Amino acid sequence: MPYKANAARRHHIPRPKRRVTNWAGYDAALRQRGSLTVWVTDEAIQQWKAVPRTTPGGQPYYSDLAITTALMLRAVFRLALRQTEGLLASILQLLGVNLAVPDHSTIARRARMVTLPSAPRSNGGPLHLLVDSTGLKLCGPGEWLIEKHGTRKRRSRRALQIGMDACSGRIVAATLTDRGVDDASQVGPLLDQITEPVASLTGDGAYDRNRVYAALQQRHPKAMVVAPPRRDAVLSDTAETAPTQRDHHILTIAEKGRMAWQRISGYNEQAGVESQMARWKGVLGDALRFHCDAAQATDIAFGVAILNRMLDLGRPNSVRIA
């Protein structure tokens, strides 16, 4: 058992009990997430063919909406490109629609350049941003290679950073970097993708960096950073005359304890973005299926759009039982 020696010194906090008040609607929304009509809409069928271009060059046959439909089906059902082509052909045949289906080579080529329209936020007001990161595996040799050849070469991975709206649960920003890139360095690129005003940025201990405070202060001067300081953190030189946000966090933890600081500062909302990461890997998988950087960036953008669309179908209204 891990940490068995410290079992007596750990906090024994009972798990809070919660109840979903809109279970009937949420149950219907969960079933709707697997419906093909969510992904192959009438709009996609009507705008299947591309609009003729007026500039010199070859004429595209399929619109961005057609490629988007194919890539979304591929991501949701975790299919290869050839299987995606077959699924799309069978759907159009069952619908009785006489439309050509893009082949797998066209889908792979257009995945590098297709763009998704940005969906506006449904609620107004400043944004409370939750940030976190996780690793995604790259396509490559599987576990059979280790079993057969005895190699212990570390599999390649890339780091995914997302920013989530704490109120709506929607992902509003995402970046994909190499594994060795520091999480705190991606706060600036995440904030650059957000046009709304930001009220706060909440992250784990990896975001307790001076450049995180500086990046948020530069773009949103009135915003607050909520990140747990290290246990050996010290106050700044101006703590007595002009205390910083980090100084306030350190003083509150020293006075009331770390658990009380989490409730006062709102750091407990960080669990929402961690659940979003688990939802990403549970729905879309923990691997990137494309090889080039442009297609991988498109893959991430489609993942964000898919999870947001599933959330728009319905989300649970969970309340804590006293």
Give residue 1's pLDDT.
Answer: 45
Query: Residue holding tokens 């992250």?
Result: 203
| C-alpha to C-alpha distance for 249 and 262, rounded to whole angstroms | 10
Query: Is there a single domain that holds both residue 59 and residue 135?
Result: no
Query: Is there a single domain that holds both residue 184 and residue 144?
Result: yes
Asked if 128 contacts 203 with a C-beta cutoff of 8 angstroms, the reply is no
Count of alpha carbons within 13 angstroms of residue 274, beta-carbon side: 8
| C-alpha to C-alpha distance for 175 and 220, rounded to whole angstroms | 20
Query: Is there a single domain that holds both residue 151 and residue 100?
Result: no
| C-alpha to C-alpha distance for 138 and 289, rounded to whole angstroms | 7
Query: Is there a single domain that holds both residue 64 and residue 142?
Result: no
In the chain, the number of structural domains is 2
| C-alpha to C-alpha distance for 67 and 173, rounded to whole angstroms | 22
Query: Is there a single domain that holds both residue 131 and residue 86?
Result: no
Give 60-81 as a 3 state SS string. CCECHHHHHHHHHHHHHCCCCH
Query: Is there a single domain that holds both residue 55 and residue 140?
Result: no
H-type helices in 169-316, by residue range?
Answer: 187-192, 210-219, 245-256, 258-265, 270-284, 293-313
Is residue 3, in this structure, part of any structural domain at all?
A: no
Six token digits for residue 114: 């297709």
Asked if 250 contacts 235 with a C-beta cutoff of 8 angstroms, the reply is yes
Give residue 179's pLDDT.
Answer: 79
DSSP 87-117: HHHHHHHHHT-------HHHHHHHTTT--PP
Query: Is there a single domain that holds both residue 208 and residue 281?
Result: yes
Burial class (CB in 10 A: 0-12, 13-18, 19+), 143: exposed
Is residue 120, in this structure, part of any structural domain at all?
A: no
Q: Which domain holds residue 27?
A: 23-110
Give residue 228's pLDDT.
Answer: 93
Report the chain (322 residues): mean pLDDT per 10 consecutive residues.
Answer: 58 74 92 86 85 75 89 91 93 88 92 78 79 84 59 71 93 90 92 92 93 93 93 88 91 91 92 92 89 88 92 87 78
Instruction: Name the maximum alpha-carbon separation found in the chain.
Output: 74
Query: Is there a single domain that holds both residue 138 and residue 219?
Result: yes
Is residue 274, in this structure, part of any structural domain at all?
A: yes
The CATH number of residue 164's host domain is 3.30.420.10
Query: Is there a single domain that holds both residue 275 and residue 166?
Result: yes
